[in-house]
Amino acid sequence: MGLFSFFTQELAIDLGTANTIIIYNDKIVVDEPSIIAVEQATGKLIAIGKKARLMHGKTHTNIRTIRPLRDGVIADFNAAELMIREMIKMINRKSQLFAPSLRIVVCIPSGSTEVEMRAVRDSSEHAGGRDVYMIYEPMAAAIGMGIDVEEPKGSMVVDIGGGTTEVAVIALGGIVSNKSIRIAGDAFTSDIQAYMRHQHNIKIGERTAEEIKIKVGSCLAELENPPEDFLVRGPNLMTAMPVEIPVSYQEIAHCLDKSMSKVETAILSVLEQTPPELYADIVDDGIYLAGGGALMRGLAKRLTDKIGIQFRVAEDPLHAVARGTGISLKNVDKFPFLMR
């Protein structure tokens, strides 16, 4: 094994719309925003991850920031390949005489088409992957939360990421019924931008909207321990004069209501397709929430009240999918649901 590991590096990659996480040797070694900055003329890489995110929305004509993934799938093939390659380089900082060959497990949305899957495989291979396996996100999330996916028992996972919300019922190591909708973190961010524009006549960028979501984002208009109002500064759309507006969590709950209803509809439609025996297991066990969206205030309570089944937020929702991908990497020969 020693020699094998010297020549082969095993990486688990959670290639997310918002963040990319790489696990190596059971440790999270890279956790960076999925964004790169390149020179407009030459396409040369300037920055990646956190540094590139600081530039987002603040660049001049010579610099372009690119988010290679949209709605959970690769939107810009070259940028994705460049990003994966550079993030893998972050692990191999030590100068080596040769680059080890890589065995990679990447997770993908459960609604991915054949073309989208090929894009992920090709990007990973071009970035140096010799053996590339893929796992569906809800399956990875379930494994990462410690659910025994191979049991003859139904478990339901709702993974609200940056680009997609994945809803799936899992039993006997397979996905029984699932739905993947393109309403997730990015959609919530643009809802907030639109709301600020219509309601307060103020123009805000993606980063500010993201900050509002983190500071005062809520799914319920009544919370037990509410966050303080968040001050938003920006130009008035009519006069271009600077304005300062306090935003409350109630407003955000109101502006996200439509998108949240779509998430509820997706959960209900998966429950409708679930066989009765598995449905009974889910009612007993509850439904598990993972992904960055699971951190939204009042989400579990809103869904529990609406659907009538207990919703539980994973211990570390942001890293559940990455952890599950890491565990499946160790069991490549054992898990039949990994795709090549």
State pLDDT tens for residues 68-89. Answer: 999 888 999 899 999 998 998 8
What digits encode the pLDDT tens for the residues 28-47?
999 999 999 999 989 899 99
Which residues of the chain does CATH 3.90.640.10 include? Answer: 185-255
pLDDT of the residue at 192:
97
Write down the pLDDT at residue 6: 58
User: In this model, does residue 50 exceed pLDDT 70?
Assistant: yes
The pLDDT of residue 4 is above 70: no
Given a cut of 80, whether residue 96 has pLDDT beyond it is no
**C-alpha to C-alpha distance for 38 and 51, rounded to whole angstroms:** 12
CATH number assigned to the domain covering 150-183+260-314: 3.30.420.40
Q: What is the mean pLDDT of residues 249-262?
A: 96
Cα separation values, 126 from 79, 118, 119, 149, 240, Å: 12, 12, 10, 31, 46
Torsion 115-40-87-8 (CA) sign: positive
Question: What pLDDT is stored for residue 121 in this prediction?
Answer: 92
The segment(s) of the chain belonging to CATH 3.30.420.40 are 2-31+74-140+321-330, 150-183+260-314
Q: What is the pTM of this model?
A: 0.91
Residue with tokens 């964004």: 35
Q: Domain spanning 185-255: which superfamily?
A: ATPase, substrate binding domain, subdomain 4 (3.90.640.10)
Helix locations, the chain, DSSP H? 2-7, 50-55, 77-91, 114-126, 137-144, 185-200, 206-216, 249-255, 257-272, 276-285, 299-307, 320-330
Over residues 49-67, the mean pLDDT reads 92
Residue 2 has pLDDT above 70, yes or no: no
Measured at the CA of 10, the angle between CA 6 and CA 13, to 5 degrees, comes to 150
- Please compute the mean of the pLDDT values over residues 308-327 and round it to a whole number: 94
Segment 148-191, tens digit of pLDDT: 999 999 999 999 999 999 999 999 999 999 999 999 999 999 99
Parallel, antiparallel or unpaired: strands 155-160 and 287-290: parallel
CA 100 to chain centre: 28
Residue 257: pLDDT over 60: yes
Decide if pLDDT at 1 tops 80: no
* Architecture of the domain whose range is 2-31+74-140+321-330: 2-Layer Sandwich (3.30)
